[in-house]
Structure 1
Amino acid sequence: MLFGMVYALRNPTEQTDRRTLNLFTNWTPPQGFEFKSHYEFSDGSGGMGTVEVASPEAMYEAVAPYRDTLEFKISPIVEVSVAVPILQKAQGWADSID
């Protein structure tokens, strides 16, 4: 399943920057967790990625090492070409209700 993930430093200090960078450069993604894309915001406030995850446990294992330094917003995502017809169907149904 695909997820969009945005993360930001909880308490941005030089110490938390160094700690988070050290964790990340020594980290190996768990089995069942794969980055499809991964970007850092150019203002240094955090980053974002698209990840494919096999299970909730794999997602939890991936983000758990960073729980003290990063705040995550993680949401399932759907390709626009798939989402638009679903939205159109839902709107059609809603329009049929008085």
Structure 2
Amino acid sequence: MKYVISWTPRASLTEESVARSLQVFGKWSPSQGADFKEFLGRIDGQGGFAVVETDDPRLIAKDTAPFTAWFDFAVHPVLEIADTAAIDTEAVAFLASVQ
């Protein structure tokens, strides 16, 4: 399954806590079985995104847990756009058949 993870900094961040979060991130690595395809930082400095593939969503919880003191996370399961378009096409056809 593919997930998009977003994070935003907590309002309580200080210059020192930002430095600490970067120190921790420098030593961190993803769990075996969590394939981080992309890490993206927002250009406004207000967080970022990661695209992750894993069959075990517990790994996402494990991988984000060390950073919850500094960031709020949102995790969204996603599909490829071709898959969502096919599902939507089926839904539209079903709706059209209901009279």
Whether these two folds match at TM > 0.5 is yes
Correspondence for 1:85: 86
Correspondence for 1:61: 62
Correspondence for 1:26: 27
Distance apart, 1:90 and its partner CA: 1.1
Distance apart, 1:95 and its partner CA: 2.9
Q: Do the aligned partners of residues 16 and 95 (structure 1) sit closer, same or farther apart at CA in structure 2, a change above 3 Å counting?
A: farther
Correspondence for 2:46: 45
Q: Do the aligned partners of residues 26 and 90 (structure 1) sit closer, same or farther apart at CA in structure 2, a change above 3 Å counting?
A: same
Rounded to whole Å, the distance in 1 between the matches of 2:17 and 2:96 is 51
Distance apart, 1:79 and its partner CA: 0.8
Runs of 4+ in 1 over 3 A off after TM superposition: none
Rounded to whole Å, the distance in 2 between the matches of 1:17 and 1:50 is 23
Letter in 1 for 2:31: P
Letter in 1 for 2:71: L
Rounded to whole Å, the distance in 1 between the matches of 2:96 and 2:72 is 39
Correspondence for 2:9: 9
* Percent identity (aligned): 29
Gaps of 5+ in 2: none
Distance apart, 1:46 and its partner CA: 0.7
Q: If the length of structure 2 is used for normalisation, what is the TM-score? A: 0.89
Moved more, 7-16 or 55-64: 7-16
Rounded to whole Å, the distance in 1 between the matches of 2:61 and 2:93 is 37
Rounded to whole Å, the distance in 2 between the matches of 1:73 and 1:53 is 16
Q: If the length of structure 1 is used for normalisation, what is the TM-score? A: 0.89
Rounded to whole Å, the distance in 2 between the matches of 1:34 and 1:15 is 30
Moved more, 14-23 or 63-72: 14-23
SS at match of 2:25: helix
